[in-house]
Structure 1
Amino acid sequence: MPPGTTTDQTRPFAAQSRDETAELLTKAVNLGLDFKLQPEVFLERIPSVEARDRLISSFPVNPGTVEDALAEFAETMLPLCKNEASPQFLGFGDTGDDVGALTGGVLALLTQQNLINQSFDSPSATFIEATALRWLRELIGYTNPQVEDLKTVLDFGGVITHGGTMSNSLAMMLAREHKVPGTMETGVRDPGRFSIVVPRDIGHYSVKSALKWIGLGYQVIEVDTEGFRYDLKALERALREHEGRIMSVVVYAGDSRTQTVDDLRGVRDVVRAADERIWLHADACWGLMCSFSDRLCGKIAGIEDYDSVTVDPHKVMAVPHSLGALLVRDPASLKAISSHSGLIMGDDFDCGQVTPFIGTKAWLSLKLWMMMRTHGRSGLAKLAEDRVDKALRFADLVDSHDRLIRLHTVDMMAVTFMYIPADVDVTAPDIERINEANLRIHERMLADGTWHLHHFGLPDDDGVLKYGVTLYPLRFMAANPRIEEHHMTGVLDYILELGATFDEGSL
C-alpha cells in the first residue's frame, strides 16, 4: 500500500461502516470469550527476554487493517496471556468475567462519557456513579443522604478509583488534612506530625507508598500482631508513646495475604479512647465481600464507625480491572481534598472536583452498577457464601495430607499452606529447608504454567511452625467460579508430586 493511503478501517467511524465495525468488534469479543473459556492458564510459557524480543516491534509506516492487527494479536500476544478464568488459576482474586460487568464495560467504552464534568460530559453517567457509591455505602453500613439532599458531588460520600492503591492514597490525604487542615495549600511543615500506625508485616504496600506520594515521607509506626490481627495492648502502647503525632490508624478488614479480618470494634475502641481526633481507615478491599451476606457480615462489624473505607469490586465482585472505591463516613470530608478548574469543572456535580491525580475520568462505575443491578443483594450473598464454603473445603483437603500444613484460620476465601519435606520434623522444624521446598515448588509451577497459586513472605503469626519466623507459603483463592472439587484435589496432587521430587533432590 503506497505511503499516505488509508484503509476503510482507518477512516473515522461512520454510519456507512457501522456493520463492518460491528463485525470486527464481534470478532474481538469472541476472541476474548474463547480465551476466558480455555481450560489452560497459559497456552505458552517462555522466558521474559524471549517475550520481549518476540513482541516489541518497529512502528509501522503504512496503514494496515484491523483484521491483520487482530490476527497478530491472536497469534503472538494472546497465547502468552494469563487466563485468570481458567479453573486451574487458583492463586489470586476475581476472574473479571461477570456477564453484567462485562456488558457494562463494553457500553462504557462505546459511550465515551467523561465524569470530570457532569452537565455536558456525563449527564447520566455521574448519577449512575453516585448510585453505585450509595449501594456500596449501604453495604458497609454508612448512612446515605436522601436523594433530594444530594446537592453537590460532595454529598455522594465516596470516589470511584482505579483500585485500592489510589483509594488508600486518597484516604491518607484525607487523614493529613484532618490532622492539619489546610495542608493542601500551605504544604507539609512537620512530617513527624503525620505518622500512621499499621500492623507489622501484613499491611499492603500502598499505604506506606501513599505517604511518600503525598509528601510525608516514611512516617510509619508498625505495631505487633497476633493471629494476623493487631495486638491491642501493643496498639495501646504505641498510641500512648506517640501521642499527638499520629494522623491515622490503618486496619485491614481482610489483609492482603491471609484475608484475616481484624477486630474492627476493638481497634476502634482503643484508638478512640487514646485520641478521638485520629483518622480511622479500614482497608476492606477483600472484606467488602463479607458485607454481601447476613451470615458473613458480622466479620466486619464496626466498619461503619471508620472515617474511611477502601473497597475493591474488581477483587471480590468479578468486575474486570480496574475498579475500586474510597468511601467516607462523612461525605463533606471530601471537601478537604477537592479542587476546581474554570476550564471544565464548574458544575456542582462534577466528579473531577474530588479525584486528585485524575482529570479525564472514564465511566468505570457502569460495570459495577450493571453487576450489582443484575445480582441484587441475594445474588451477592450467594456469591460470597459459595466462595467461603469453597475455601473451607480446600482447607479441609490441606489438613487431610500429612505433608501439608495450613498457616491460619480461614476467614474468607484465602488458604495459605506449605509443603513439609519428608525429612523435616514439624516439632523441631528446619524453616530454611521448608521455605526452600516451597520456593522451588512455586518456581516450577510458574515455569510449567499448568496450575497457579500465589506465593509471598508471611510471618508465622499463629506459631504453626515457629512463631515470628518468615515463611514462604503457597496460597489458594476461592474466587474463581469455575473451580470444582477435582481442581482443588488436582492442584494438591501436583504440589505433592513436586514435593516428592524435591525430597529426592531432583527439583
Structure 2
Amino acid sequence: MPPVPPVPQADRTRPFSAESRDETAALLTKALQLGLDFKLQPEVFRERVPSAEARDRLVTELPERPASVDEALAEFTDTMLPLCKNEASPQFLGFGDTGDDVGALTGGVLALLTQQNLINQSFDSPSATFVETTALRWLRELIGFTNPPVGELSTVFDVGGVITHGGTMSNSLAMMLAREHKVPGTMEHGVRDPGQYSIVVPRDIGHYSVKSALKWIGLGYQVIEVDTDGFRYDLKALERTLREHAGRVMSVVAYAGDSRTQTVDDLRGVRDVVRAADEDIWLHADACWGLLCSFSDALRGRIAGIEDYDSVTVDPHKVMGVPHSLGAILVRDPAALRAISSHSGLIMGDDFDFGQVTPFVGTKAWLSLKLWMMMRTHGRSGLARLAEDRVGTARRFADLVDARSRLIRLHPVDMMAVTFMYVPADVDVTAPDIERINEANLRIHERMLADGIWHLHHFGLPDDAGVLKYGATLYPMRFMAANPRIEEHHMTGVLDYVLALGAQFDEGQL
C-alpha cells in the first residue's frame, strides 16, 4: 500500500493547548449553539425515515483521512441531527426526559471539562466526591431518610446512597442488597438455593428492571406477581402471597409512581402487611417518578411511608430536567452498602472512594454535578413550584380529555401522567369491543410515529380500574406533563390531532 500523503496542518485537529484555546472555545461554542437551537426547535423530528434508511445513511466505514472538527460538525449537522428526537419540544408529550434545565446543562458541561473520576477521592476527585455526597444527602432529606451530621461523615459508608446511570442500575443494586440481606455472604460464596431469593411485584405494572436484575445477579426468574386493584397492590392478595411463600421472599417491591400510569401505591399499607408477615423482608420502593412528590408539602403525603423502606430508587433525569443519564439508589441504613462493597488498593482504598459502592462501574463520571447545580439553582421553593406546576398541567390535560366525547381516561391523575384512548364511533362503551378500540389506538399511534409532528407514549396496560372492561389488556396513549414549555395550545393541539386521526380510522382511511 502506498504511503498516505501528509495532511496539511490546516486540515488537522490541533491538540488542546494554551495556543489553541480560543479555537477550541469557538468550536465548543458552535456545538453549544447547535445543541441549544435543536432543543428550541418546535418539531419533535425535523425528518422521519425508516430505520433501514437511517442505517444506510449513518453506518459507514472509518475514513482514511482525518477531518477537522468543523468538518465533523458539518457532517453531524447535515446527517445526524435532523433525525434526532427532540424531547425538549413541547410537542413531545409522551415522556419525562426533557434534559433542558439550564443549571443541569451547565453542570453537565463543567463535569465534562473538569474530568473528575469519582472511583477515588484523594487524587481523582478531591472536591467532586463531596459535591456528590451533598447531592445524595439532599435527595435523602427529600425522601425522609435521616442524615448523620456532617462532622460524623467518616467514610463512603456514611453517605447512604449511590449515583447511578438510571433506574435500571439502581434497582439492580437494590436487588443485590436484598440478596445479601436475605443470605449474608452470597457475594463471596455464590447462590446455593435460588428459590429463597424470590421477589414480590405488582402484576403487569412492575418495571422490567427488577425482573432483569434477578437474572443479572444469578438468581434466575424468581418473581411472584400479586394482583392489583386500581394500579396498586391488592393488600389482601399481598398478605395471602406472603403467607403462602413464607421464608422464601427476599424483597417486596412497591411503586411510588408506576412506569405506566404513575399511580402511587399505598406505601404505608404495603409496609404494614410486609412487616407483619416477616420483619426481615427487604422493602424496596421504586420512586423514579415519585421523587417529584417529595418536592412539595402539598404532594408529599402521596408518598407517605417511603421513609420506612430499606431502599428507594430515584431518577432525576425523569423528573428534574437533568440530561441523561442520572439516577440514584438511596438506603435507609447507610451501612447496608457494605454488603455489596469492593476494595482495591490500586485505585479505591481511601475512606471516601465511591468506587467501593458501585458494582459494575469502575471509572465514575461526575454525573452528580448536573444534579447539584439543578437543586442549588432551584432551592426548596423552586422544586416545590416545579412539582406543583407539572401536576397542575396533568390535571388540566385530564379535564381536556374528559371534555371530548370520543376520548376516555383510564385512571385518576396522581402525578404527571394521563393515560387515555380513542373510542371509535361505532363502539358502544357500555359494551365495548376491546379489539376494535385497541386497533384504532394502535393505528393512530403508528401514524403519529410516522408523521413525527406530535408524540405520545404507547404501551399495553391492564384495565385495572374497569373503565372499559376490568382486566382487559388495553393499548392506550399517554400524555406526560414534564416539559415546562407545554402550553394550552399544545395540549389541545395533540388532542385535536388524535381525534382527526381517529375520524380517519372510522372512515377506513387509516
- Could you tell me which amino acid in structure 2 is paired with residue 430 of structure 1? D
**Counterpart-to-counterpart distance in 2, 1:155 and 1:169:** 21
User: Counterpart of 2:40?
Assistant: 37
- Corresponding position: 1:86 with 2:78: no
User: Counterpart of 2:25?
Assistant: 22
Tell me the alpha carbon deviations over residues 137-163 of structure 1, each in whole angstroms, 9 at most, x when there is no partner: 000000001101111001110000000
User: Counterpart of 1:214?
Assistant: 217
- Corresponding position: 1:381 with 2:345: no
User: Counterpart of 1:461?
Assistant: 464
User: Counterpart of 1:171?
Assistant: 174
- Which stretch has the larger CA shift, 60-69 or 102-111? 60-69
User: Counterpart of 2:341?
Assistant: 338
Unaligned runs of 5+ residues in structure 2 are none
Report if aligned partners of 1:7, 1:65 keep a CA contact under 8 Å in 2.
Answer: no
Report if aligned partners of 1:309, 1:326 keep a CA contact under 8 Å in 2.
Answer: yes
Tell me the alpha carbon deviations over residues 316-373 of structure 1, each in whole angstroms, 9 at most, x when there is no partner: 0000000000000000000000000111111000000000000000000000000000
Match of 1:493 among 469, 493, 496: 496
User: SS of the residue aligned with 1:268?
Assistant: helix
User: SS of the residue aligned with 1:221?
Assistant: strand
Deviation at 1:11, TM superposition (A): 3.4
**Counterpart-to-counterpart distance in 2, 1:2 and 1:45:** 39
Report if aligned partners of 1:7, 1:63 keep a CA contact under 8 Å in 2.
Answer: no
Match of 2:327 among 318, 324, 327: 324
**Counterpart-to-counterpart distance in 2, 1:194 and 1:384:** 37
User: Counterpart of 1:99?
Assistant: 102
Report if aligned partners of 2:97, 2:324 keep a CA contact under 8 Å in 1.
Answer: no
Deviation at 1:94, TM superposition (A): 2.9
What pairs with 1:438-449 in structure 2 (closer than 5 Å)? 438-449=441-452
What pairs with 1:226-305 in structure 2 (closer than 5 Å)? 226-305=229-308
- Could you tell me which amino acid in structure 2 is paired with residue 364 of structure 1? L
User: SS of the residue aligned with 2:251?
Assistant: strand
User: Counterpart of 1:423?
Assistant: 426
User: SS of the residue aligned with 1:225?
Assistant: coil
**Counterpart-to-counterpart distance in 1, 2:139 and 2:108:** 19
**Counterpart-to-counterpart distance in 2, 1:469 and 1:395:** 22
**TM-score with structure 2 length normalisation?**
0.99
Identity between Structure 1 and Structure 2 (%): 86
- Corresponding position: 1:142 with 2:149: no
- Could you tell me which amino acid in structure 2 is paired with residue 230 of structure 1? Y
Report if aligned partners of 2:38, 2:86 keep a CA contact under 8 Å in 1.
Answer: yes
- Corresponding position: 1:484 with 2:490: no
Report if aligned partners of 1:3, 1:61 keep a CA contact under 8 Å in 2.
Answer: no
- Corresponding position: 1:162 with 2:188: no
User: Counterpart of 1:187?
Assistant: 190
User: Counterpart of 1:407?
Assistant: 410
**Counterpart-to-counterpart distance in 2, 1:483 and 1:373:** 24
- Could you tell me which amino acid in structure 1 is paired with residue 307 of structure 2? E
- Which stretch has the larger CA shift, 6-15 or 210-219? 6-15
Match of 1:205 among 186, 205, 208: 208
User: Counterpart of 1:112?
Assistant: 115
Deviation at 1:6, TM superposition (A): 6.9
Report if aligned partners of 1:40, 1:86 keep a CA contact under 8 Å in 2.
Answer: yes
- Superposition misfits of 4+ residues, deviation over 2 angstroms: 1-12
Tell me the alpha carbon deviations over residues 429-471 of structure 1, each in whole angstroms, 9 at most, x when there is no partner: 0000000000000000000000000000000000000000100
Match of 2:54 among 32, 51, 55: 51
**Counterpart-to-counterpart distance in 2, 1:61 and 1:256:** 46
User: SS of the residue aligned with 2:20?
Assistant: helix
**Counterpart-to-counterpart distance in 1, 2:326 and 2:255:** 19
Deviation at 1:5, TM superposition (A): 3.9
Report if aligned partners of 2:14, 2:20 keep a CA contact under 8 Å in 1.
Answer: no
- Could you tell me which amino acid in structure 1 is paired with residue 504 of structure 2? T
User: SS of the residue aligned with 1:226?
Assistant: coil
Deviation at 1:74, TM superposition (A): 0.3
Match of 1:60 among 63, 66, 75: 63
- Could you tell me which amino acid in structure 2 is paired with residue 315 of structure 1? K
**Counterpart-to-counterpart distance in 2, 1:154 and 1:286:** 26
**Counterpart-to-counterpart distance in 2, 1:173 and 1:68:** 46
Deviation at 1:10, TM superposition (A): 2.8
**Counterpart-to-counterpart distance in 1, 2:407 and 2:389:** 24
**Counterpart-to-counterpart distance in 2, 1:163 and 1:457:** 23
**Counterpart-to-counterpart distance in 2, 1:209 and 1:4:** 51
Tell me the alpha carbon deviations over residues 407-449 of structure 1, each in whole angstroms, 9 at most, x when there is no partner: 0000000000000000000000000000000000000000000
User: SS of the residue aligned with 2:329?
Assistant: strand
- Could you tell me which amino acid in structure 2 is paired with residue 179 of structure 1? K
Report if aligned partners of 1:4, 1:62 keep a CA contact under 8 Å in 2.
Answer: no
**Counterpart-to-counterpart distance in 2, 1:242 and 1:6:** 72
**Counterpart-to-counterpart distance in 2, 1:2 and 1:218:** 55
Distance 1:205 1:3, change over 3 A: farther
**Counterpart-to-counterpart distance in 2, 1:137 and 1:345:** 24
**Counterpart-to-counterpart distance in 1, 2:67 and 2:175:** 47
Tell me the alpha carbon deviations over residues 467-504 of structure 1, each in whole angstroms, 9 at most, x when there is no partner: 00100000000001111000000000000000000000
Unaligned runs of 5+ residues in structure 1 are none
**Counterpart-to-counterpart distance in 2, 1:197 and 1:6:** 64
**Counterpart-to-counterpart distance in 1, 2:5 and 2:125:** 39
Tell me the alpha carbon deviations over residues 152-188 of structure 1, each in whole angstroms, 9 at most, x when there is no partner: 0011100000000000000000000000000000000
Deviation at 1:297, TM superposition (A): 0.3
Deviation at 1:12, TM superposition (A): 2.2
User: SS of the residue aligned with 1:16?
Assistant: coil
Report if aligned partners of 1:7, 1:64 keep a CA contact under 8 Å in 2.
Answer: no
**TM-score with structure 1 length normalisation?**
0.99
- Could you tell me which amino acid in structure 2 is paired with residue 297 of structure 1? R
User: SS of the residue aligned with 1:160?
Assistant: strand
Deviation at 1:70, TM superposition (A): 0.3
